[in-house]
Amino acid sequence: MYKKGFTLSETLITLGIIGVVAAITLPSVISDIKGRKLKAQLERSYSILAQGLSKTQEEMGGYTINYNSTHGSTTFKNTLIKQFANAYDCSTSETKTCLSNNTRPTEYKTYTGKELFTYRFDDGNFILQDGTFVIIENGDNRLELTVDVNGKDKKPNRWGHDLFTFQIMDNGKLVPMGAEGTRSSLCDNKSSSSENGVGCTYMALTDKDYWRKLPN
């Protein structure tokens, strides 16, 4: 009696086909998983920052912030950081910062990953207990909060990938940069601007295909 089965060549061919299919689909699956995780972290950071900002505004007596003074931004930072348990204050001092350089940080690149951005992060930064890195920028009659949702020591460290900016509007509301009324919507995979990616936050939260289209 003969038993039917696969020959060695047939088995090898089948395994080869499976390997090819896996090689094609696996990167996409991994990218999708990473995107989902980063989006969840962004949504969580947005919620936490909004709550902290609301408590800060209550403590400071309203929405008005003295944007264009060191005293004003320091007071805001010191009040904001108190809203988060066990947050580590990096201080506004250049020698105590958690960044390599407040005015030209080497840790971060633009949306495309090709350029270092020349954005100032010199108005305070601190690290939350879960590792989330929060950065304050105060200038040109606006106040912005930027957050590295997975911490500054984890890659990709790129604007619009794991680094996202929010603008505090005149009514005190924290709004994702790129939304109507914010100062920038720059989020372009062809732009060489040193601020490319600052306006990606709104798209990252609202565009269902955003995370699949991130530039490599």
Tens of pLDDT, residues 67-112: 555 546 778 888 999 999 999 998 766 566 788 877 778 889 999 9
Q: Both tokens of residue 135?
A: 């950065």
pLDDT at 97: 75
pLDDT over 70 percentage in the chain: 80
pLDDT band at 22 (very low <50, low <70, confident <90, very high): low
Neighbours of 116 (CB within 10 A): 13
Instruction: Give the bridge partners for 168, in sequence order.
Output: 143, 174
pLDDT in tens, 185-194: 999 999 989 8
Query: What is the DSSP track for the chain?
Result: -------HHHHHHHHHHHHHHHHHHHHHHHHHHHHHHHHHHHHHHHHHHHHHHHHHHHHHTSS---TTSHHHHHHHHHHHHTTSTTPEE--SSTTT-SSS-SSS-TT-B-TTSSSB------S-EEE-TTS-EEEEEEETTEEEEEEETT-TTSS--BBTTTEEEEEE-TTS-EEETTSTTSS-----TT---TTTTTT-HHHHHH-TTGGGS---
CB distance 45 to 147 below 8 Å: yes
Could you tell me if 147 and 135 are in contact, meaning their C-beta atoms sit under 8 angstroms apart? yes
**131 phi and psi, to 5 degrees?**
100, -10
The per-residue pLDDT for 202 is 98
Res 4 pLDDT > 80? no
Radius of gyration of the chain (CA): 22
Mean confidence (pLDDT) of the chain? 83
The percentage of the chain sitting over the pLDDT mark of 90, rounded to a whole number, equals: 45
**Contact present, 108 and 136 (Cβ < 8 Å):** no
Determine which of 15-24, 161-170, 174-183 has the lowest per-residue pLDDT on average.
15-24
Residue 204 confidence (pLDDT) above 90? yes
> What pLDDT, on a 0 to 100 scale, did the predictor assign at position 76?
85
Phi, psi of 188 (to 5 degrees): -135, 125
Per-domain residue ranges of the chain? 8-212
Q: Which amino acid is at 120?
A: R
The predicted model scores a pTM of: 0.83
